[in-house]
Structure 1
Amino acid sequence: MTSRTRRPAALLLAAVLSATLAAGCGGNAGPGAAPQPSRTSAPAPATPVPATPEQLAATAAATNAFGVDLYRALVADGGADRNLVLSPAGLATALAMLLPGARGATADELSRALHTELPAGPYAVAVGALDRGSRPAGAADGPVLRQSDTLWAQQGYAVDPGYLATLAAAFDTGVRTADFARDPAGSRKAVNALVEKDTGGRIKDLFGEGAVTSDTRLVLTDALFLQAKWRQPFEPARTSQQPFHRLDGTAAPVATMSRNAPLRYAEGSGGIAGQPWQAVELPYAGGNLAMDLVVPAQGGFEGFRHGLDAPQLDRILGALAERPVDLTLPRFTFETGGSLVGPLRALGVAAAFDAADLSGIPGPGEQQRLKVDAVVQKATVAVDEGGTVAAAGSGVGVAAVAAQAPGQSVELHVDRPFLFLIRDTVTGQPLFLGQVTDPKA
């Protein structure tokens, strides 16, 4: 059966689901009792036109550029001196779920921030394909990488069937209903509970108090969980207390891992005033995932990150080549997160929060204008001798508007602030990006 014959069937199923939502599925509670959040069947995914290799490569590069932009915006928004981790892939997926419902300036600003020139539908298909492509094949020693996407809709609110079909086709998005209007607190807890479950308990309370209101009509979430062992683990016996030099010039002893092994390594200079840097890649077992460390010279971190952009990061990663490396790396564990409305505004996304045009989302009979009133992300990362555990929850709330020489060993001691990137080394899709300024914070 061709995609031309399958697509109308999916649209029909989406229309049935939209009618079910409009009828208030699960909303038969008696007077004064708010209906509990309930799950509805997602429309069967249509068979979309597959993304071409060129579209996949362009979308992976776009997500990388979006991640660098977002990192710099978060640094400028009060994150300059603290540890920071974010998930470019997670937030790009959540916004890719929103984009097919956006029109006019709202869609244009989102596309520019996401660095994509693809129409909303093909972009969503490409993002979904990259998400699926990064998942390991299931080798016994391979990483565990889970990513799930969910659309929550207000009971009784009709959602456009074409919009639902697009999300189902691109992301296999499940749809759940909740009564945001009568029980925003209970609905928020239900959304957060599902994200917590899908991240293995790592991400709690993604949407904080007040982020979900009685005006909320839809919530879009992406949950990402990674557990990966190093291809070559560090030996715990070699871990020792070593000084780590903070941004303010002070130093403190931290548990620091050590090993000498052939690794992909590069060094050079870049950013404002050409700060020297070193970079190394630590592959995970059983797949294409790896963690890249980019370590500016002592005293050069501030200037380096101000000059960092996607092309420069691409050049750094493209320069990696195998050689023996004497490596030390502090263990670190931390979580960051909160509202991303301010950073997204700094990237030029304004209409979505103000005079939004999300007219591709409401179904027949729905007259209220919609706007984005919440964009949130929480992410956590833990690195030790065995490997990495990382997770991220990303959410968008949509509300109704009232009216050196080969063979020669080099030395890299990560004893100062550094950047890290967890990515798919085949597609280039960045899963996590962050900085460590104090491993003990």
Structure 2
Amino acid sequence: MVSVSAMASKVFVLFIASLAVCAAAGPPIDPQLLQSVFGAAAPGFAAPASAQAVPVRPATDNGTLVDPDYWDAPDNFSPAPADYDRFDWTLTKRVAASSDANFLLSPLGLKLALAILTEAATGVTQNELSSVLGFDLDRNLVRRKFSTIIESLQKKSPQYILNLGSRIYIGDDAQPRQRFAAIAQEFYKTELKTVNFNDPSVAAKEINTWVSDTTQGKIPTLVDEDDVAGMVVLVLNTLYFKGSWRHQFAPNATKTGQFYVSPKIQKNIPFMNVNDKFYYVESSKYDAKILRLPYLGNKYAMYIIVPNSLTGLPRVFNDLSELRLELNNLREYQVDVTLPKFKFEYTSQLDGVLRELGVRQAFEETASFPGIARGQLLHERLRISKVLQRSGIEVNELGSVAYSATEISLVNKFGVDTEANAEVVANRPFLFFIQDEATRQLLFTSRVADPTSADGAFKFI
């Protein structure tokens, strides 16, 4: 048996959307307008905490090694229907079909950014974005949904760290409509900041400093001077997650084993092992094993899907839309889990995928984003020029670390060993996703095809 050690998780997500316009700078948001539209102002977004997660050892205030508040609390997993995730699975499936290599996406990071742009759009531009994202036609329902998601993600706990930040950098020659700015602040907790894009070095430094701070240094340099030169608006969304496994892997049990990159190619890598109670199902639909690995606190969990065949992962990706239904079959078993250690980074350019899925006018000269640029003359209109996401993940004995940056550029139109009931050995390409259990939102989706591969990229135009 390949052995394994303790594991925790860290995740970072960054979304960026940049816009260039030719409008004059506007006045700050009128507080009375904000209150008249939404009522009393909500508390401002708090800066991410820099403190590290507490050690995974239980507290001993009660004189024992058990903290009844969380350490020995039952893992009452109950699958629930998830909405607003059709886009997430569609995006994952499309990127997975592009190659057989590793990939890592943050569907939630991209979706939050596009949701903010949808608020700034009108007409066909807005309708296409809403349709592809699976949004309700009632904007108020969409706003309340995202407000609930963001509120869930911003809940603080000593058992994990999740920092969510959102900003829109506004150039001196751009003027957002006050109603759009108020909506961004109230429902999406998105702060508007003025920056001088005409001084690219200063603008790039300010943006990179904020991104680095909110991702705890995992993305120290997102943009350079050339990226921001001539920019008018930049939308940023960052997410950092760090958690420890509820069921720890033994740190001294990691051993080398073979990972089947393909039936003919094997690589020796470190594997971790734990034998404990997990929610698990042997899926006949996917001919795969599905395992839920909760993090301490049970608010977040990683799900891994390991095909029984060395070449069976495409079958899983081909029918991702039914995966949620299959999770209803998860039951608690004593499971012996063998999981590889891995670490890689990934860059994906997603313009072409969004076009293929139906977001088209947003990239054309006829795009309409009046919520950000007042002027609607042809030479004043904006269009999306680039959608880029940068991400990374590390899974080891102490946990996993994942981070991601999505950039959308808009320019002018010009435990204890016991006998296991089941066994999961992830020694072949597998799918995993990390989600917020409260809202069923996908923080990350990924394929691990080669744990030794350090980086990868995707571009579809």
- TM bracket (short chain): 0.7 to 0.9
Paired residue for 1:255? 270
TM-score w.r.t. structure 1 length? 0.80
Determine which of 267, 288, 312 is the counterpart of 1:277. 288
Equivalent residue in structure 1 for 2:442, among 427, 430, 433: 430
CA shift at 1:133, angstroms?
A: 0.7
Per-residue deviation at 1:225? 0.1
Indicate whether 1:217 and 2:221 are aligned: no
How far apart are residue 176 of structure 1 and its match?
Answer: 1.4
Residue 68 of structure 1 aligns with an amino acid whose one-letter code is: W
Number of residue equivalences: 384
Q: CA deviation at 1:315?
A: 1.8
* Whole-angstrom CA distance in 2 between matches of 1:170 and 1:158: 20
Aligned to 1:193: 209
Q: Does 1:114 align with 2:133?
A: yes
Q: Distance in 1 between matches of 2:147 and 2:218?
A: 23
| 1:162 to 2:173 alignment | no
Gaps of 5+ in 2: 1-22, 43-79, 454-461
Contact kept, 8 Å, 2:173 with 2:232, in 1: the verdict is no
What amino acid is aligned across from residue 280 of structure 2 in structure 1?
Answer: Y
Contact 1:333 1:439 in 2 (8 A): yes
**Given that residues 41 and 186 in structure 2 are in contact (C-alpha distance below 8 angstroms), is that contact kept between their aligned partners in structure 1?**
no
Asked if 2 retains the 8 angstrom alpha-carbon contact of 1:143 and 1:229, the reply is yes
Query: SS where residue 298 of structure 1 aligns?
Result: coil
**In the alignment, what sits opposite 1:234?**
249
CA deviation string 1:218-275 (max 9, x = no partner)? 11110000000011110012110010000363111111000111100011133xxxx4
- Structure 1 residue 159: Cα displacement: 1.0
1:82-119 residue CA offsets vs partner (Å, 9 max, x unmatched): 21111111111111111111112211111122112243
- Separation in 2, partners of 1:251, 1:264: 29
Give me the whole-angstrom Cα distance separating, in 1, the residues matched to 2:41 and 2:123.
Answer: 24
Residue aligned with 1:22, SS: coil
| 1:206–1:394 contact (8 Å) kept in structure 2 | no
Q: Secondary structure at the match of 2:360?
A: coil
> What corresponds to 2:423 in structure 1?
411
Give the direction of change, closer, same or farther, for the CA distance of 1:382–1:44 in structure 2 (3 Å limit).
Answer: farther
Task: Give the equivalent residue in structure 2 for 1:22.
Answer: 26
After superposition, give the CA deviation of every residue in 1:326-384 in whole Å (9 maximum; x if it has no partner).
Answer: 11000111111232212211211111111311123223798711111222211221111
Residues 1:209 and 1:112: Cα distance change in structure 2 (over 3 Å): farther
**2:309 and 2:444 mapped to 1: Cα distance?**
24
C-alpha change, 1:101 and 1:200, in structure 2 (3 Å) is same
Partners of 1:421 and 1:66 in 2: how far apart?
15
1:111 and 1:323 map into 2 onto residues whose CA distance is 41
Aligned partners of 1:387 and 1:136: how far apart in 2? 20
Equivalent-residue separation in structure 1 for 2:301 and 2:392 (angstroms): 17
For residues 190 and 429 of structure 1, what CA distance do their matches in structure 2 show?
Answer: 30
Verify the 8 A CA contact 1:83 1:434 in the aligned structure 2. yes
SS at match of 2:26: helix
What SS class does the counterpart of residue 363 from structure 2 fall into? coil
Which one-letter code corresponds to 1:339 in the other structure?
Answer: Q
User: Is the 1:143–1:287 Cα contact (8 Å) retained in structure 2?
Assistant: no
8 Å Cα contact 2:200-2:225 kept in structure 1: no
Distance in 2 (alpha carbons) for counterparts of 1:116 and 1:48 = 26
Distance 1:351 1:428, change over 3 A: same
**Residue in structure 2 matching 1:387, options 365, 380, 399:** 399
Deviation at 1:168, TM superposition (A): 0.7
SS of 1:349's partner is coil
Contact 2:349 2:389 in 1 (8 A): yes
Cα RMSD for the two superposed structures = 2.9
Rate the CA distance shift 1:121–1:195 in 2: closer, same or farther, 3 A: farther
- TM-score, L = length of structure 2: 0.76
Contact 1:66 1:115 in 2 (8 A): yes
Cross-structure match for 2:64: none
- Residue pair 2:272, 2:341 contacting (<8 A) in 1 also: yes
Matches within 5 A, 1:32-111: 46-47=38-39, 60-62=82-84, 64-77=85-98, 80-111=99-130
**C-alpha distance 184-339 of structure 1, shift in aligned 2 (>3 A):** farther
Aligned partners of 2:411, 2:26: CA distance in 1, in Å? 16
Q: Secondary structure at the match of 2:359?
A: coil
CA 1:373–1:119 in structure 2 vs 1: closer, same or farther (change >3 Å)?
Answer: farther
Unaligned runs of 5+ in 1: 1-18, 26-40, 51-56
Q: 2:337 aligns with which of 324, 327, 331?
A: 327
1:128 to 137, 147, 151: 147
**Counterpart in 2 of 1:32?**
none
Query: 1: CA distance between counterparts of 2:401 and 2:422?
Result: 28
CA distance in 1, matches of 2:434, 2:380: 41
Query: Higher relative contact order by CA 8 Å / sep ≥ 6: 1 or 2?
Result: 2
Q: CA deviation at 1:213?
A: 4.0
Counterpart in the other structure of 1:347: 357
Partner of 2:49: none
Alignment deviations for residues 109-168 of structure 1 (CA, whole Å, 9 cap, x no partner):
111221122434531331232122134442x3x110011100011113211111101101
Q: More deviation in 297-306 or 155-164?
A: 297-306
Measured in 2, the distance between the counterparts of 1:341 and 1:427 equals 27
Contact 2:275-2:334 within 8 A present in 1 as well: yes
1:213 to 1:248, Cα distance in 2 relative to 1, 3 A:
farther
Write the distance in 1 (CA, Å) between the matches of 2:34 and 2:391: 30
CA deviations 1:195-215 (Å, max 9, x no partner) are: 22211111243346754341x
User: Which residue of 2 is the match for residue 15 of structure 1?
Assistant: none
3-state SS of the aligned residue for 2:380?
Answer: coil
Deviation at 1:306, TM superposition (A): 4.0
Q: Is 144-153 or 295-304 further displaced after alignment? A: 295-304
1:318 to partner: Cα distance: 2.0
How far apart in 1 are the matches of 2:339 and 2:301?
15
* Secondary structure of 1:316 counterpart: helix
Aligned residue in 1 for 2:192: 175
Whole-angstrom distance in 2 between the partners of 1:47 and 1:288? 31
Quick one: percent identity of the two aligned structures?
28
SS at match of 2:247: coil
How far does residue 49 in structure 1 lie from its aligned partner after superposition? Answer: 12
Secondary structure of 2:183's partner? helix
